[in-house]
């Protein structure tokens, strides 16, 4: 829509100011209204802003992994606490599965869901889990395949 009369909507924050051309017809339509466009404006602005990334290090015991994370995530890390992460339902499991998926297939430990299912089968059938079940997705799959039929009959 082209309106010859154009004014500007102005977005202000501590970080800067953005002037957005807006036809007077829309300015008049919005005048005095209380509307919430937060989600849509965030999406619109994010789509036009390049994501800034920084390299950082993730330490897992003696292993250092170089990771590249969005700056907005890194700038907000101080908002997270160990307790918040520990109490966040599923976070540790999702992190485990993220690391697992990055490993070569032959080096993958079993997934959280695989292990839980294998434990349920073992408990129900009264059988022992193989010693290396946790460290090998393949061993876990073989255990499940071997006992799944008997488990389903329970």
Q: DSSP for 69-92, please give it.
A: EEHHHHHTGGG--HHHHHHSTTHH
| pLDDT at residue 108 in the model | 92
Write out pLDDT tens, residues 63-105.
999 999 988 888 888 787 777 776 777 787 888 888 999 999 8
Q: Give the predicted TM-score (pTM) of the model.
A: 0.62
How confident is the model over 18-25, as a mean pLDDT?
A: 86
pLDDT at 4: 65
Average pLDDT over residues 43-66: 90
Rounded-to-integer distance, Cα 112 and Cα 83, Å: 21
Q: Yes or no: say if 130 and 98 are a contact pair by the CB < 8 Å rule.
A: no
In whole numbers, what is the pLDDT of the chain averaged over residues?
Answer: 87
CA gap 101, 137 in Å, rounded: 11
């Amino acid at each position: 829509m082209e309106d010859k009369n154009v004014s500007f909507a102005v977005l202000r924050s501590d970080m800067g100011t953005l002037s957005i051309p807006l036809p007077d017809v829309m300015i008049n339509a919005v005048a005095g209204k209380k509307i919430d466009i937060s989600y849509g404006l965030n999406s619109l602005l994010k789509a036009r802003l390049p994501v800034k990334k920084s390299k950082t290090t993730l330490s897992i015991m003696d292993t250092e992994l170089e990771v590249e994370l969005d700056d907005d995530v890194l700038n907000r890390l101080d908002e997270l606490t160990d307790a918040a992460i520990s109490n966040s339902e599923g976070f540790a499991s999702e992190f485990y599965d993220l690391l697992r998926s990055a490993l070569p297939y032959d080096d993958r430990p079993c997934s959280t869901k695989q292990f839980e299912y294998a434990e349920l089968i073992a408990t129900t059938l009264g059988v022992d889990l193989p010693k290396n079940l946790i460290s090998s997705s393949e061993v876990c799959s073989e255990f499940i395949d071997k006992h799944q039929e008997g488990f389903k009959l329970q």
